[in-house]
A and B are shown apart, each in its own frame.
Chain A
Amino acid sequence: MRPPCDPSKFVAEAVKSIPPSGIRRFFDLVSGLEDIISLGVGEPDFVTPWHIREMCIHSLEKGQTSYTSNYGLPELRDELTRTYYRRYGLDYNPASEILITTGVSEALDIAIRAVVNPGDEVIVVQPSYVAYVPSVILAGGKPVIVSTHRDDDFSLTAEALEPAITSKTKAIVLNFPNNPTGAIMQKEGMEDIADLVVENDLFVISDEVYECLTYEGTHVPFSSLEGMKDRTVMLNGFSKAYAMTGLRLGFAMGAPNIIHSMMMIHQYCMLCAPITAQVGAIEALRNGKTEMEKMVREYDRRRHFIVKGFNSIGLECCNPRGAFYAFPYIGDMGLSSSEFAERLLDEKKVVTIPGDVFGEAGEGFLRCAYAASLDDIRKAIERMGDFVDGLKQ
């Protein structure tokens, strides 16, 4: 008889070195509970606008179920070129500077793999989306964390960034509008970062998936700053702006060499993004502006509501100018973020995400998504108010 084996020994070291996600445990705590109100989601509570869904259905009826070009449907890339020229005067060649991906998640993974050599340092600005650090580790790079702070409204300053740059630094990952803080960057602050990028000859991976959810001021793509287009790959997608999360569609825009290198990986790990989603995305770009802007206005109203609500129950909450997250401070309540979130779930059945899930700099905060109905937000704030009152006694 052949001997039994322990399959765990086959797992690669790189995977083992990925820090455990605090969220898994939280997810297990939530499942099975009744009467919960969730501010824990990272996706719109809207359904994809009907005209987009209808176009996807139509394409399926016509039998449009084939592979597409590795780069994505030419019509979709053409629409993206037009859209970004119209919005920002950015001029990306649809034939060589755009790659359609299976969500921004894939774009992020292959962008990092396309530029990182083993041992390269990649600066990750935190608090931020949970995938950046693991993606760098899986590519053999070394993540170097730079923190943003409440005093700066969680935007990145050159002073905070500069000391983290070494001779080994290859790239920096930016995420504005930011998940989980809702922070955006002002153009002046971005120019300072751009100066540092040039001085130190760095590459920028800019995840701008919340671009369209900017409520105060206008979004400035990092690549639109002078001299930054060829140093930046912009990652973006349709999930947040057009409520298309499950359709998994993203894109990357950058210099031909970078996009081609990303495509070299994409062609083998993904081949192409799902054609149905690509068809929907074309429709979204051509005819989706009105509905998208309507959703954005709705988020904006909930944003005012939730920030005022948190401040009224004694949770200090700075003004999130983008995305759909509020990031109230709970650091003076005598509990860690995780303890606070777990007890809040346990005692009041409200789901929030502890801020430290998004990096140490998030400790003392909670991520609360306002991509939920006003009724739910209202109830959640009431319950959280009771909880905070209980803690104070």
Chain B
Amino acid sequence: MDEKIQHILEILENDARTSPEEIATLTGMSAQEVSQTIAKLEETGVIRHYKTIVDWDLVGENYVYAVIELKVTLERNQGYQAIAERIFKFPEVRSVRLLSGNYDISLTVRGKSMKDVAFFVAEKIATLDQVQSTSTHFVLKTYKEDGVILHEPESIQRLPVSF
């Protein structure tokens, strides 16, 4: 990978709000070169999306999350893509993954309450023809989300002066 692209992606993955001017300062590139590179990365789908990780608990929005394991049967001429597409179009579904092992697909679902999530799975997911079985695991606590640790960082005391 081009070193400049690596710098840009690392900076944006860490903080998507970093402006092209700031990235230019950090990398020794011109702001124009940064903007053009980012535009190309967006166009080619290397950069998929910019988003914010929110701790909704802190504003009293107590979302309930669950990880759902699905076993599916595949229909003739249709791979996993078809069932995945049916599922990922529901806004309640936050992530969809095809896995190796005892079951096939893993979803993360978000709802306002446990009842909400349970009904969604029972009505929308379990009833799909290809779905053989579902197993729902409610999330009790999230410690780390997409590389971000969700609690106050420890501060390390260093000497203010050293050689």
B11: A residues at CB distance < 8 A: 301
Q: How many residues of A contact B (CB 8 A)?
A: 28
Docked pose: A129 CA to B6 CA in angstroms:
33
Residues of B near A302 (CB, < 8 A) are 26
**Cβ of A45 < 8 Å from any Cβ of B?**
yes
Are B25 and A38 in contact (CB-based, < 8 A)?
A: no
Q: Which residue of B lies closest to A294 (CB)?
A: B10
A351 adjacent to B161 (CB under 8 Å)? yes
Q: How far is the CB of B105 from chain A (nearest CB, A)?
A: 30
B160 and A45 contact, CB distance less than 8 A: no
Closest B residue to A307 by beta carbon equals: B28
15 A–B contacts from the bound complex (CB under 8 Å)? A23-B161, A27-B161, A30-B161, A36-B160, A38-B158, A40-B161, A41-B158, A41-B159, A42-B163, A43-B158, A47-B156, A129-B163, A130-B163, A301-B11, A353-B161
In the bound complex, residues from chain B placing their C-beta under 8 Å from that of A23 are: 161, 163
Asked whether any CB of chain B lies closer than 8 Å to the CB of A379, the reply is no
Given known contacts A30-B160, A31-B160, A301-B11, what 13 new A-B pairs fall within 8 Å (CB)? A40-B160, A40-B161, A41-B159, A43-B158, A43-B162, A129-B163, A179-B163, A294-B10, A297-B7, A301-B26, A302-B26, A308-B25, A353-B163
> Which residues on the B side are within 8 Å of A297 (C-beta)?
6-7, 10
B interface footprint on A5-43 (CB within 8 Å = 1, 0 otherwise): 000000000000000000100110011000010101111
Q: Which residues of A contact B19 (CB under 8 A)?
A: none
Q: Give the residue name and chain of the A residue nearest to B154 (CB).
A: A47
Query: Which residue in chain B gives the minimum CB-CB distance to A46?
Result: B156
Q: Cβ of B160 and Cβ of A41 under 8 Å apart?
A: yes
Q: Which residues from chain A contact B6 at a C-beta distance below 8 Å?
A: 297
Cα distance A308–B6 when bound, in Å?
21
Nearest residue in A to B11 (C-beta to C-beta)? A301
Give the CA-CA distance A308 to B26 in the complex, in Å: 9
Is B32 part of the binding interface, using a Cβ–Cβ cutoff of 8 Å?
A: no
| Interface pair B161/A26, CB less than 8 Å apart | yes
A305 within 8 A of B: yes
- The answer on a CB contact under 8 Å between B7 and A301 is yes
B contact residues around A40 at 8 Å (CB) = 160-162
What is the bound-complex CA distance between A131 and B163, given in angstroms? 9
Binary per-residue interface labels of chain A (281-318) against chain B in the complex, 1 for a CB within 8 Å, 0 otherwise: 00000000000001001001110110010000000000
Interface residues of A in 186-235 (CB under 8 A from B): none
B8 CB to closest chain A CB (Å) equals 10
The answer on a CB contact under 8 Å between B156 and A304 is: no
The 8 A CB mask of A169-182 against B (1 = contact, 0 = none) is 00000000001000
Does B95 reach chain A (CB closer than 8 Å)?
no
Instruction: Give the top 9 A-B pairs by smallest Cβ distance, nearest first.
Output: A301-B26, A40-B161, A38-B160, A42-B162, A42-B163, A304-B28, A30-B160, A27-B161, A130-B163
Cα–Cα, bound, A33→B50 (Å): 40
For window 307-366 of chain A, which residues contact chain B by CB distance below 8 Å? 308, 351, 353
Residues of B1-33 whose CB lies within 8 A of A: 6-7, 10-11, 25-28
Tell me, rounded to whole Å, the shortest Cβ–Cβ distance linking A89 to chain B. 24
Residue of B nearest to A319 (CB): B28
Nearest chain A residue, comparing its CB with the CB of B153: A47
Partner of A304 from the list B26, B159, B162, B163 (CB cut-off 8 Å) is B26
Bitwise interface map of A from 29 to 65 toward B, beta carbon under 8 Å scored 1, else 0: 0110000101011110101000000000000000000
Residue among B26, B27, B160 making CB contact with A351, cutoff 8 Å: B160
Q: Smallest CB–CB gap between B14 and chain A, Å?
A: 9
In the assembled complex, how far is the CB of residue B1 from the closest CB belonging to chain A, in whole angstroms?
Answer: 12
Q: How far is the CA of A27 from the CA of B159 in the complex (A)?
A: 9
Once the chains bind, are A45 and B158 in contact (CB under 8 Å)?
yes
Kindly provide the distance from the CB of A76 to the nearest chain B CB, expressed in whole angstroms. Answer: 25
- Determine the distance from Cα of A305 to Cα of B25 in the docked complex, in whole angstroms: 5
User: Contact between B27 and A301 (Cβ–Cβ < 8 Å)?
Assistant: yes
Residue of A nearest to B14 (CB): A298
A352's closest neighbor in chain B, by CB? B161
> A41, B26: Cβ atoms under 8 Å?
no
What is the CB-to-nearest-CB distance from A298 to chain B, in angstroms, rounded to a whole number? 8
Q: In the complex, which of the residues B11, B27, B162, B163 has the most CB atoms of chain A within 10 Å of its own CB atom?
A: B163
Q: How far is the CB of B125 from chain A (nearest CB, A)?
A: 37
For A353, list chain B residues within 8 Å (CB).
Answer: 161, 163
Q: Considering the chains assembled together, what is the distance between the CA atoms of A305 and B160 in angstroms?
A: 21
**Shortest Cβ distance from B146 into chain A, in angstroms?**
17
Q: Which residue of A lies closest to B29 (CB)?
A: A304
Nearest CB of chain A from residue B121's CB, rounded to whole Å = 36
Q: Tell me the complex Cα distance, A80–B158, Å.
A: 29
Which residues between 128 and 163 of chain B lie within 8 Å of chain A, taking CB atoms? 156, 158-163
CA distance A305 to B28 in the complex (A): 8
Q: Is the CB of B25 within 8 A of A41?
A: no
Alpha-carbon distance between A351 and B159 when the two chains are bound, in angstroms: 11
Whole-angstrom CA separation of A302 from B158 in the bound complex: 19
A151 to chain B, nearest CB (A): 23
Residue of A nearest to B22 (CB): A305
Q: Which residues of B sit under 8 angstroms from A30, Cβ to Cβ?
A: 160-161
Chain B's nearest CB lies how many Å from the CB of A385? Answer: 15
Residues of chain A contacted by B161 (CB below 8 angstroms):
23, 26-27, 30, 38, 40-41, 351, 353
